[in-house]
Chains A and B, each alone.
Chain A
Amino acid sequence: MTTYCYDGSFEGFLCAVADCLEAGEGQPEFTRNRDRQAGGLFSGDMRETVTDRASAVEFRKRLVEAVSQEAFATARYAFHSRKAGIEQLLWRYLVMGLQVGGRLCLMLAEEPVHSVNRIARQVAHEAHKFKGFVRFQEVEAGFLYARIEPEADILPFIAPHFVERVGDRPWMIHDLRRCQAAVFDLKSWRLIKDVELTSEPGVTAGEHDYAALWQRYFQRHAIAERHNPKLQQKHVPLRYRKHLTEFKSPRTPL
């Protein structure tokens, strides 16, 4: 049993899978560089995977030709759930895909397709929700800043949406959970790792006014005769409310 060590990115994972296939592995294990344990009792040999964009792109081409674009997209969503053991599950999914070809997408009730689809759906769903739940603040540095704490690593899925939408300002969406941020500089966006705030960012004067207007609008928009907090909580779970302007009390700092 060989353990493949990769850099934690999706591209890196694809390279690791390509390496495994080349080496004819049956049941490889995968680990990210940063969680790597120094040779446990039962660990086999370790192999370092070098992330190489060209070989990741080549693997994608191979998968899309053998199975479908949809299968690749599903695998990409599922990978970003960052659940423990997702690499092994995806390895089985990808190997099965290369064996059975286009039939993979029809095998909805069989493992591992069922599990991968379910996880991919959760991630896609959360990514869609966050297209609505990101709340930008205008900070004094002259750009828009937003904080999120999603369950899955959804930045790669929502960043292109905000590039299209808010194309006239530089912005930054900060994933506090994973200490990373998507940053847009008016031309393109990129992912920056290990982002930490040294101090609370100062917001512009207008920011408080618009936030207050939005809070009042939000309060008044509910119809009292239809009061239904359970339904509200179904759509906006409590865990998402921390960074939503309209759920903060008017006096707390933004």
Chain B
Amino acid sequence: MITLPLEQRLEILADSAKYDVSCSSSGSNRSGKAGALGNTTSSGICHSWTADGRCISLLKILLTNACIYDCAYCLNRRSNDISRAAMTPDEIVDLTMNFYRRNYIEGLFLSTGVIRSADYTMEQLIYVAKRLREVERFNGYIHLKLVPGADPLLIAEAGRHADRVSINIELPSRQSLALLAPDKPRESVINPMRQVSGLIVESKEARKQSRNAPHFAPAGQSTQLIVGATPESDREIITLTEGLYNKLELKRVYYSAFVPVSSDNRLPALPTPPLLREHRLYQADWLLRFYGFSAHELLDETHPNLDMRFDPKSDWALRHLELFPVEVNRVDYEVLLRVPGIGVRSAQRIVQARRGTRLGEVELKKLGVVLKRARYFLTAGGRYLGGIRLDGPRLMERMLAPTRRPARLDQLELFAAIPDASALTGEL
């Protein structure tokens, strides 16, 4: 596996790593050290975007794509006939340092297939991180994958070198996991998440007492769910997400539209990945984290899936028209956040600006508030911005109506009316 030239192995391993969607380099803020390479910024930095429009922030790569497990949804499963390759820890360290120095990347995201045993694999990952931190004095971002079933002591060590650690749940329910990933019991994923969550809280407390207390995964932990490979409803997914944010204090839950990477008969045959559903789930995820919504408000038994026609907030607002319209000059920040089309930034600007002046439609536009959807839910100085008041179904129709673009004006042509100009020139 190490006999292939480096560039080919890099391609094979990048290919195998690209379905893990976690990419962010945010959440950690560490200043540079004199004479050493690297720092981290809390907002994270994207360095490039690939042809699918996803950002590249970290060098996302596997140590090896050989794996002893046989999870049906995974490209690298044992039974799949693909090229296998591996990198030595030195090669990964060298690539990371040299890519980072040229400012191609923000750090390393290291994952791997499971070889020999969970503990052995975890040790390999930790070894790379340790080399980077201790020998090369690399001070940039490191995201380490935790191997399901690895020893708790190894997990505790991983978080001391990495900025972020993650372990992927992949499938939202126990049944799906048992069906598609028979080698990975749910406990082998959830227990490390619990442990990491506890260690992060502990290290934060310790650092309040003493600034020299060691960090543990200062950028927190994340996970990924595959969408569309199994029959779970959006409600199950969003409720699980809410639990992960509230109980285990995850920084991010990523959703990955299922791309059929195998023809296993346990998996659905999808013509295209469910990208719109993935997008709606991210919108709902943002509503949970930044807009004060809870899962049961967005979805319930009668309404188990997100509406593909609307964003989840518009959908919620259309079911709660009795709460609207609200007066933009008076209403609380929390309520503004619930108006469709108004985001965190717009809401903050409105709250700031209305202390100075009275806001009307013109002022709102100047603040950069997009009124396309918001106008139907707002009054400004007592005046309803949506024109005629509509009831639920008609408002829905209005919001779904395509925005009219002016008809294309074609350049007038002298002979446009005559189908064939050769009739004029006589060269029939």
A133 contacts B by Cβ under 8 Å = yes
Interface residues of B in 236-293 (CB under 8 A from A): 257, 259, 272-273, 275
Contact B32 A164 (CB under 8 A): yes
B352 contacts A236, CB within 8 Å?
no
Contact yes or no, A132 B47, CB < 8 A: yes
Query: Is B357 in contact with A135, judged by CB distance below 8 angstroms?
Result: no
Interface string of B38-73 (1 = CB under 8 A from A): 110101011111111111110110000000000000
Rounded to whole angstroms, the CA-CA distance of A166 and B34 in the bound complex is 9
**A107-B52 in contact given A136-B101, A164-B32, A165-B39 (Cβ < 8 Å):** no
In the complex formed, the residue of B with least CB distance to A230 is B53
Closest to B261 in A: A225
* Residue from A166, A216, A229 with most neighbouring chain B CB atoms (10 Å): A166
> How far apart are the CA atoms of A203 and B45 in the complex, in Å?
26
Chain A, interface residues (CB within 8 Å), range: 35 or more
A235 to B11, CA, bound (A): 24
The residue from B31, B37, B39, B353 contacting A109, defined by CB atoms under 8 A apart: B353
Q: Are A223 and B32 in contact, with the CB atoms below 8 A?
A: no
The 4 closest A-B pairs by CB, nearest first: A231-B53, A164-B32, A109-B363, A222-B50
Tell whether A110 pairs with B37 under 8 Å between CB atoms, given A213-B7, A228-B53.
Answer: no
Q: When the two chains form their complex, are residues B51 and A216 in contact, meaning their CB atoms are under 8 A apart?
A: no
User: Does B82 belong to the interface (CB within 8 Å)?
Assistant: no
**CA separation between A168 and B139, bound complex, in Å?**
12
Contacting pair B7 A216 (CB below 8 A) = yes
Residue of A nearest to B105 (CB): A214
Chain A 204-227 near chain B by CB (<8 Å), digits 1 or 0 = 001000111110111011111111
Q: Is B316 on the interface with A (CB-CB < 8 A)?
A: no
Closest-CB distance, A206 to chain B (whole angstroms): 8
Given A210-B99, A211-B102, 15 more A-B residue pairs with CB atoms under 8 Å apart are A106-B356, A108-B366, A109-B356, A132-B46, A132-B47, A165-B38, A214-B102, A218-B50, A220-B14, A223-B18, A225-B259, A232-B50, A235-B55, A246-B48, A246-B104
Give the most central of B18, B59, B356, B364: most A CB within 10 Å: B356
Kindly provide the distance from the CB of B109 to the nearest chain A CB, expressed in whole angstroms. Answer: 12
B201-214: CB near A (< 8 Å → 1, else 0) gives 00000000000000
- Contact A134 to B103, CB < 8 A, known contacts A168-B36, A236-B48: yes
Contact across chains for A167 and B37 when beta carbons are under 8 A apart: yes
CA distance A168 to B32 in the complex (A): 10
> With an 8 A cutoff between CB atoms, is A53 at the interface?
no
B349 touches A213 (CB 8 A): no
Main secondary structure, interface of A, reads helix
Q: Please tell me if A114 contacts chain B, counting CB pairs below 8 Å.
A: yes
Q: Does B95 contact A (CB under 8 A)?
A: yes
A residues at B contact (CB < 8 Å): 103, 105-110, 114, 128, 131-138, 144, 146, 161-169, 206, 210-214, 216-218, 220-232, 234-236, 244-246
Cβ contact within 8 Å between A229 and B357 = no
Contacts of B349 in A (CB 8 A): 108
- Interface status of B10 (Cβ within 8 A of chain A): yes
14 pairs, CB–CB < 8 Å, chain A vs chain B: A109-B359, A110-B356, A128-B43, A133-B47, A137-B102, A146-B103, A167-B33, A167-B36, A213-B6, A216-B10, A225-B259, A228-B53, A229-B53, A236-B49
A103 touches B356 (CB 8 A): yes
Mark B1-20 against chain A: 1 for CB-CB distance below 8 A, else 0.
00000110011001100110
Tell whether, in the assembled complex, residue A168 and residue B35 are in contact, meaning their CB atoms are under 8 Å apart. yes
CB neighbours (8 Å) of B59 from chain A are 217
B191 interface residue per 8 A CB criterion: no
Which residues in chain B, 364-400, are within 8 Å of chain A measured between CB atoms? 364, 366-367
Give the residue of B6, B15, B37, B46 whose beta carbon is less than 8 angstroms from that of A166.
B37
Smallest beta-carbon distance B24→chain A, Å:
13
Cα(A161)–Cα(B364), bound, Å: 35
Task: Tell me whether B51 and A232 are in contact (CB under 8 A).
Answer: yes
Closest B residue to A229 by beta carbon equals: B51
Contact A108 B367 (CB under 8 A): yes
Q: How far is the CA of A214 from the CA of B355 in the complex (A)?
A: 51
Q: How far apart are the CA atoms of A109 and B49 in the complex, in Å? A: 34
Question: By the criterion CB–CB under 8 Å, are B10 and A213 in contact?
Answer: yes
Shortest C-beta distance, A231 to chain B (Å), equals 3
Residue in contact with A245 in the complex, picked from B35, B46, B102, B367, CB distance below 8 Å = B102
Contact in complex: A227, B102 (CB < 8 Å): no
B104 near A223 (CB under 8 angstroms)? no
Docked CA distance A149–B359 (Å): 39
Contacts of B117 in A (CB 8 A): none
Question: Does B98 touch A at the CB level, under 8 Å?
Answer: yes
Q: Which residues of A contact B364 (CB under 8 A)?
A: 109
Are A226 and B99 within 8 A (Cβ)?
Answer: no
Question: Contacts of A244 on B, CB cut-off 8 Å?
Answer: 48
Identify which of A146, A167, A216, A236 contacts B35 (C-beta below 8 A). A167
Instruction: Name the B residues within 8 Å of A213 (CB-CB).
Output: 6-7, 10, 95
Please state if A220 and B15 are interface contacts (CB–CB under 8 Å).
Answer: yes
Closest approach, in angstroms, between the C-beta of B46 and any C-beta of chain A? Answer: 5
Beta-carbon contact of B45 and A223 below 8 Å: no
CB distance from B53 to the nearest CB of A (A): 3
Contact A217:B102 (CB < 8 A) given known A132-B47, A167-B36: no
Q: How far is the CA of A220 from the CA of B51 in the complex (A)?
A: 10
CA distance A216 to B7 in the complex (A): 7
Q: Which residue of B lies closest to A217 (CB)?
A: B14
Residues of chain B within 8 A of A136, CB atoms compared: 101-103
Cα of A220 to Cα of B11 in the assembled complex, Å? 6
Bound-complex Cα distance A214 to B228 (A): 32
